[in-house]
Amino acid sequence: AQSVAQPEDQVNVAEGNPLTVKCTYSVSGNPYLFWYVQYPNRGLQFLLKYITGDNLVKGSYGFEAEFNKSQTSFHLKKPSALVSDSALYFCAVKDSGYSTLTFGKGTMLLVSP
């Protein structure tokens, strides 16, 4: 089975500070890992993905994520948060033996001015 956990319902950070949104996963094979962002009343938008290769993945809008196989984590990071980064963030995983993604419950990121 494949599963993904986002342990924080909400993350609060001040503008200009670094941010981290946590994600852990469980698969039996090799993981394919994704981050998506959802702005209010919109569909999800792709941020970045890890398939293979470098453990540090860079994505859209200055976001990056680090794949850590030993800790089965794929945390989303950004060095300096913007108020406009406030949104709902979803981590998703696909085991190499599965055909579809499993999404986490989402983490609401609130960046205060």
Contact region with other proteins (CB under 8 A), list: 16-24, 41-49, 64-72, 73-81? 41-49
Which contiguous run of DSSP H or E holds residue 12?
strand 10-14
Candidate ranges 11-19, 65-73, 74-82, 94-102; the one touching other proteins (CB under 8 A): 94-102
What's the token pair of residue 62?
């200055």
The C-alpha atoms of residue 42 and residue 34 are separated, in whole angstroms, by 18
Q: Is 54 in the site for other proteins (CB under 8 A)?
A: no
CA angle 52, 57, 105 (to 5 degrees): 90
Nearest to 91 by CA among 77, 102, 104: 104
The answer to whether 78 contacts other proteins (rule: CB under 8 A) is: no
Q: Is residue 32 part of the contact set for other proteins (CB under 8 A)?
A: yes
Site residues (CB under 8 A) for other proteins? 9, 32, 34, 41-46, 49, 51, 90, 94, 96, 98-101, 103-106
